[in-house]
Amino acid sequence: MSRRELVLSEIGYRPLWKLRAAAVTTPSALPLDTPVNLPKLQVTTAVSPIQPQPISEALDNSVQAPAPPYENPVTATPITDWDDLQQQINACQQCQLAGTRTNIVVGRGNQKARLLLIGEAPGEQEDRHGLPFVGKAGQLLENMLAAAGIDSEREVYICNLLKCRPPGNRNPAPDEISKCSHFLQWQIDAVQPELIVAVGRFAAQSLLQEQASLSSLRGKLHQYGRYPVLVSFHPAYLLRSPGEKAKAWQDWCRVRQLLNQK
């Protein structure tokens, strides 16, 4: 079994449908929620092939991003570099999460990545290890990235809206999001990604300053300042609703495709 087949098998996308050579696109369209234990099939596509779409023609809406310097709103101290970011988050006492966190969670991956992935907030495992997406949701995310041919260490920087865990994994509160936002804004401009992917309702709505549902934000190319943004499902949601993995797979194919166009 190839690595790709192993990965797809791991995330439950079995059996594998083989593309005929003539129908292969990049990335290959592959099956998602196929029932288990069926014989292997020869089909052209499992999900609709995604047509290349120039970014300029595909833009849905555009959000003005705050301009630097990104500074602590209370002390007006600007963030100077990644070490300073780490220190400022460590020292941050601006919301109640500072009192309950075990570790701050700044981010992981390539600080000059082509793709910036923004999640919601650290969960239990992330709070324990001080790294984003290292629990079950993170495993699924890694598997989806790998299946879409995206190298998470080289091509991606992963961070969250909030840098501290909300107790019991409750939803982030609006004041927590706004008090943490200068950290994220600094990260976005430091990475200068070619594409941002916001996973989940909180990351998408807060970045795009939108109240619209996740399903209506998905499938469109948005713009945050000078950065194109795609929205997809939060992997924790996909663990609870595996039937939505097919749509998530389309989103990640689109991500791969947009990166390939650049």
- The least distance separating ligand URA from the CB of residue 198, rounded to whole angstroms, comes to 10
Q: Give the residue with the Cβ less far from ligand URA, 150 or 198.
A: 198
Q: Centre a 10 Å sphere on the Cβ of residue 114 and count the other Cβ atoms it contains.
A: 19
- The least distance separating ligand URA from the CB of residue 178, rounded to whole angstroms, comes to 17
| Among residues 126, 142, 155, 176, the one that binds ligand URA under rule CB under 6 A | 126
232 binds ligand URA per the rule CB under 6 A? no
Instruction: Report d(CA 113, CA 44) in Å as an integer.
Output: 33
- The least distance separating ligand URA from the CB of residue 28, rounded to whole angstroms, comes to 28
Residues in contact with 121: Cβ distance below 8 Å, sequence separation at least 6, in sequence order: 160, 161, 162, 164, 165, 166, 169, 172, 202
- Residues 161-200 contacting ligand URA, CB under 6 A: none
- The least distance separating ligand URA from the CB of residue 215, rounded to whole angstroms, comes to 18
Q: b/e for 2-40, b at 16 or more Cβ within 10 A?
A: eebbebbeebebbbbbbbeeeeeeebbbbbbebeeeeee
- The least distance separating ligand URA from the CB of residue 94, rounded to whole angstroms, comes to 20
| Among residues 13, 17, 70, 133, the one that binds ligand URA under rule CB under 6 A | 133
Size, binding site for ligand URA by CB under 6 A: 12
| Among residues 31, 107, 109, 122, the one that binds ligand URA under rule CB under 6 A | 122
- The region of 27-35, 52-60, 131-139, 204-212 touching ligand URA under the rule CB under 6 A is 131-139
| Among residues 11, 29, 198, 236, the one that binds ligand URA under rule CB under 6 A | 236
| Among residues 31, 107, 109, 123, the one that binds ligand URA under rule CB under 6 A | 123
Tokens standing for residue 168: 């019991």
Q: How many residues are present in the chain?
A: 262
Q: b/e for 182-210, b at 16 or more Cβ within 10 A?
A: bbbbbbbbbbebbbbbbbbbbbbbbbbeb
Q: What single letter denotes the amino acid at residue 24?
A: V
- Residues forming contacts to ligand URA in the complex (CB under 6 A) are 119-123, 126, 132-133, 137-138, 160, 236
